[in-house]
Amino acid sequence: MALNLNLAFRKGNEMTSNTAKQRKSEFMGSGMRVGSGMRAGNVLKLPQIKLHRLFLVVSILTVLLSCGEQSTANAEPGPTRAFDFDNTEYSVAIFAGGCFWCMEGPFEKIDGVKEVISGYTGGEKKNPAYKEVASGSTRHIESVVVLYDASKISYEKLLKIFWRNINPTQDNGQFYDIGEQYRTVIFYRNEEEKKAAEASKAELEKSGPFDKPIVTRILPFSGQFWIAEECHQDYYKKNPVHYNRYRVGSGRDSFIEKHWGSSH
C-alpha cells in the first residue's frame, strides 16, 4: 500500500483514467473502507469510522482524481533527445537528486544560474521515455543539467545547493520515490569537479546535521544526458499545485526544514 500511495503523490500526472480507477480500487480494498456493506442509496454512518481515517481516504481520492484530470494534457509527450554539450556558452553541472521536478527550482532561483534542464542519465538505451525510466527498466537516473555563468557562481556553491535539497543518507531512492532511478548522484565531467565534489562530501560528513552515513555517489559522467519530455521541464511553474502537494506529501520539505532550518 505504501508504494501505491507514493506513486499517487509522485507520478500523478502520468496516470490514465483507467489507472486512477485501479489505484482507487486498491486503496479501498486495503483496509481503508468506508463501510464494506454500503450500496447505492445507503446512508454512510460516520460514527462507525474514525475521522482521521476518513480524512485520509478523502485526501487520497482527491490526489487520484487530480492526477486523472492532468493525464490527458500530457498523454503523448514527444521523443527525448540528447543534450548537446558542445554547443552551450555556459558551464555545465549535472546532479541527480531524486525527483527532477524538485531540483529545478532551487537552482533556477540562484543568480548566475541560466537554466536547469530535467532529463535522464546513466542508462544505455537511446531516447528513453519517462515511463520507461520511472519503471527502472532502462537503468537511467532522473537528473538535471544546470547551466551557469562561472563568473557569477562557482561549482562549489552549486554543490552546497545540491546537498541542501536532498536526503544524502537515503540509498534506495529519495523520499517516496524508491529505486535506483531516484538515487542521488553528483556526476563530474573533469578532475576539478571530482575534487570539488569529494571535498564537499567530506565537509558534509564532518560538520553536517546528519547522524547517518552520506551515501550520495560521485560518478564520472559518460554517455548522454537525455532531455526529458517537455511536460516535465519547469514542472514547478506549469503545475504549482500538484508540485507543492507532492513536495509536502513526499516528506522532502519537512526533511529540509528539520536539517537545514528552511525549505526550498
Cβ neighbours of 2 (radius 10 Å): 8
Q: How far apart are CA 243 and CA 200, in angstroms?
A: 29
- Which sign, positive or negative, has the C-alpha torsion 243, 258, 178, 219? positive
End-to-end CA distance of the chain: 28
Q: Which own/partner contact pairs does 196-205 have at CB distance under 8 Å and 24+ positions apart?
A: 196/155, 196/156, 196/159, 197/159, 200/156, 200/159, 200/160, 200/163, 204/163, 204/168
**Catalytic annotation, residues:** 99
